[in-house]
Amino acid sequence: MMNRNRKDTIIESLTGISVLLIIFIIVSILAITIKGGWPNLNWQFITEFPRDGMTKGGIFPAIVGTALMTLIMTIAAVPFGVITAVYLAEYAKEDSVFAKTIRFAVKTLAVVPSIIFGLFGLGFFIGFIGQNMDKIFNGGVLKWGQPSILWASLTMALLTLPVVIVSVEEAIRTIPVEMREASLALGATKWQTIKRVVLPGSVTGIMTGTILAISRGAGEVAPILFTGAAYYLADLPHSLSDQFMSLGYHIYIMSTQSANVDATLPIQFATTLVLLLLTFSLNAVAVVLRYRIRKKAK
């Protein structure tokens, strides 16, 4: 009996240690980034352009680039995601082949490696759509058939589509059946019920999905490596066909390919801190919102 108790204690504490280990890693990533980045994080850093061959100055264009990219991405991904979620939750019959295939496709989009989206963006948006657009509208002058903020954003929209769909569908399903019944009993049609009852009731879910998508899109680098991100630009992007600087890409390029990695170390840490703070706070908001949706469902 004694022996069994000791074995129990050992194994139970082993599982506890695993949890502590994960939390320890999370805390140390945060602590080290804050320690390395905080001293250099000030107003100039956020509002200035890089100077002196990128060894001094700020990351203003990277922040603006990331913001613009996620904005275009949101405009493309959220309506698509919401409509697909409405279909899955309200129109699709659970066991129809069509609905099952859509679910499988969404799941596939969620697990395909992000670098594949980059390849797709290059092959489809730039190589196929962009170059054909140039041929038809631009008389063969290269404008759309090259990496740009539009193609990067659309590539990223595809990557974040499953995030939106899953959150919105979950929220739609928490709306009580009685609400729909009441609406239908008053003579509203199915579409009117969705428009006036279901969608307003799932606003929190749509917000959660949007926030999660933005956080994911702001942090991903692989899909924009060759669809629009640039190492250094002296100017902010002015049109959809311009390239852009992005926070994540900036970290990658500064820490691996910069001429003097040690000199730019404070900048790297501070940029990482900015990106981490951004995604971290977005995620925290999403966790709180989702918690409230789940609580309401119970």
Partner 1 sequence: MINRILNKKEDPGRTEQASFARKRFRFSDWFAERFIKVVAFMSIAFVALIFIFVFREAFPVFRMDVVQNVTTEKLVPESYGEEPENGDNSKTTGKEIREARPEMKVVKPSSTLLSRDWMPVSDNPRYGIIPLFLGTLKVTIIALLFAAPIAILAAIYTSMFAKPRIREVIKPIIELLAGFPSVVIGFFALMVLATVFQDIFGYASRLNAFVGGFAMSLAAIPVIYTITEDALTAVPKTYIEASLGLGASRRQTAFHVVLPAAAPGIFAAVILGLGRIFGETMIALMATGNAALLSINPFESVRTLSATIGAEMAEVVFGDTHYSVLFLIGSLLFIFTFILNAVSELYFKNLVVRKYQSKK
Site string for partner 1, 235-274 (x = CB under 8 A): -------------xx-xx--xx-----------xx--x--
Q: Where are the beta strands (DSSP E) in 247-296?
A: none
Choose the stretch contacting partner 1; rule: CB under 8 A; options: 29-37, 51-59, 132-140, 201-209.
29-37
Minimum CB–partner distance for residue 242 and partner 1 (Å) = 17
218 near partner 1, rule: CB under 8 A = yes
Which of 40, 124, 204, 236 lies at the binding interface for partner 1 (CB under 8 A)? Answer: 124
Largest CA distance in the chain: 85
The dihedral sign for the CA sequence 45, 46, 47, 52: positive
User: Helix (H, G, I), strand (E, B), or coil: what is residue 207?
Assistant: helix
Q: Does 118 bind partner 1 (CB under 8 A)?
A: yes
Taking CB under 8 A as the criterion, which residues in 68-107 touch partner 1?
80, 83-84, 86-93, 98, 101-102, 104-107
Neighbours of 215 (CB within 10 A): 22
Tell me: does residue 284 bind partner 1 (CB under 8 A). yes
Q: How far is the CB of 142 from partner 1 (least distance, A)?
A: 11
Helix, strand, coil: what percent of the chain each, to 5?
A: 75, 0, 25
Q: What is the dihedral of CA 47, 52, 55, 58, to 10 degrees?
A: 0
Residue of 53, 132, 291, 294 that binds partner 1 (CB under 8 A) = 291
* CB nearer to partner 1: pick between 44 and 189: 189
Between helix 265-297 and helix 247-256 the angle, nearest 10°, is 140
Using rule CB under 8 A, residue 187 touches partner 1: yes
Closest separation in Å from C-beta 64 to partner 1: 18
Q: CA 6, CA 18: separation in Å to the nearest integer?
A: 19
Phi, psi of 125 (to 5 degrees): -65, -50
Stretch that binds partner 1, among 43-51, 68-76, 173-181, 233-241 (CB under 8 A): 173-181
Give the number of other CB atoms < 10 A from CB of residue 15.
Answer: 8
Task: Check residue 40 for interaction with partner 1 (CB under 8 A).
Answer: no
